[in-house]
Amino acid sequence: MNKIKSYFMFSREHRSGIFLLLLLIFFGQLSYFFLSENLFQKKEIKEDKEWLLVQNEIDSLKRKFVTKNDTIYPFNPNFITDYKGYKLGLSVAEIDRLHQFRNQNKYVNSPEDFQKVTKVSDEVLNKISPYFKFPDWVTNKSNSTSEKFHKFLPKEKVAIIQKDINIATREDLIAVYGIGEKLADKILFEKEKLGGFVSMEQFQFMWGISPEAIDDLQKRFFVKNTFGIKKIAINDLPMKELAKFPYFNYALAKEIVVYRTMNNGIKDIADLTKIKGMPNEKIKIIALYLEF
């Protein structure tokens, strides 16, 4: 018992040392608490700043996205799709009225026409009409003093005497509603390449000619004289010569040569439809230029 008790008996120096040790432990724990708390707060502040930066970037991207989605770019109201109409705020009935009007091959040429056809409210019209973009020949019709756009104005109603398109002059073509000097030159150049036109349907495949201009062309002209047409001997000409035909290209000429070699020649339109790359929408026109 005395031996055990001796373990708990300390001298004055021992007690002082133990007391000092306890003080050091206490202050050490206290320092650790305050230091760790301070470091934790600094870490939180740093993380908060980083999160704020990320959040600011997210908010900025959101604003850009919303702005991008809300932006309306200039457009021709004659070609509004169901989806675009919905995005612009048109009702299903209003979009349907526009499509029914366009199915009659008619066009709206002003905001007033658009409202008359679709029956949209003034509020919707005022919102979207500033973005309407009509062709130049429509927007400049009212400028009667401008000679530059005079050719686009509706012609006075006079009795039309139809002409053979293959003998039409540059002036005859410029007299057509919607055709100016450049288009007239383009039509004459196309006629020269082909040796002449074989069908009035050919103008549907010429870039830059509006539906209104095609209608007026068909009223004023027809195909009569085809003596100057350059017939293409599709079973005889080499690939290089076939590729020169305006409706063909090198790749199609190659397919033609392969097909006629493997099938003992091309006999009719039905054979043409079997050739890879043949523009079938123009095939009736192309056939009129061929010798089988």
> Tell me: the pLDDT tens digits for 161-213?
899 999 999 999 999 999 999 999 999 999 998 889 999 999 998 888 998 99
Amino acid letter at 143?
A: N
In a domain, 142, yes or no: no
Q: Give per-residue burial for 52-74: e unless 16+ CB within 10 Å, then b.
A: eeeeeeeeeeeeeeeeeeeeeee
Domain limit, last residue, from 70, 86, 107:
70
Instruction: Summarize the confidence of residues 217-227 as an average pLDDT.
Output: 88
Same domain, 41 and 98: no
pLDDT of residue 5: 52
pLDDT of residue 83: 81
Domain limit, last residue, from 32, 51, 70:
70
In a domain, 38, yes or no: yes
Check whether 28 has a pLDDT greater than 60. Answer: yes
Domain hosting 66: range is 2-70
Number of domains in the chain: 4
What is the residue-averaged pLDDT of the chain? 80
- Is the model more confident about 135 or about 85? 85
At 143, the pLDDT band (50, 70, 90 cuts) reads very low
The mean-pLDDT minimum among 1-5, 146-150, 216-220 falls in 146-150
Q: Give the other-Cβ count within 10 Å of 277's Cβ.
A: 13
Domain limit, last residue, from 36, 70, 104:
70
In a domain, 149, yes or no: no
In a domain, 140, yes or no: no
In a domain, 22, yes or no: yes
At 276, the pLDDT band (50, 70, 90 cuts) reads very high
Check whether 135 has a pLDDT greater than 70. Answer: yes
HEC sequence for 138-149: HHCCCCCCCCCC
Residue 265 sits in a domain whose CATH number is 1.10.150
Q: Are 216 and 229 in contact (CB under 8 A)?
A: no
Check whether 146 has a pLDDT greater than 50. Answer: no
In a domain, 148, yes or no: no
In a domain, 282, yes or no: yes
At 30, the pLDDT band (50, 70, 90 cuts) reads confident
Same domain, 162 and 215: yes
Same domain, 60 and 35: yes
Looking only at the bridges linking them, the beta strands covering 221-222 and 163-164 are parallel
pLDDT of residue 145: 42
The mean-pLDDT minimum among 35-39, 234-238, 245-249 falls in 35-39
Same domain, 241 and 280: yes
Same domain, 113 and 162: no
Same domain, 159 and 216: yes
Check whether 65 has a pLDDT greater than 60. Answer: no
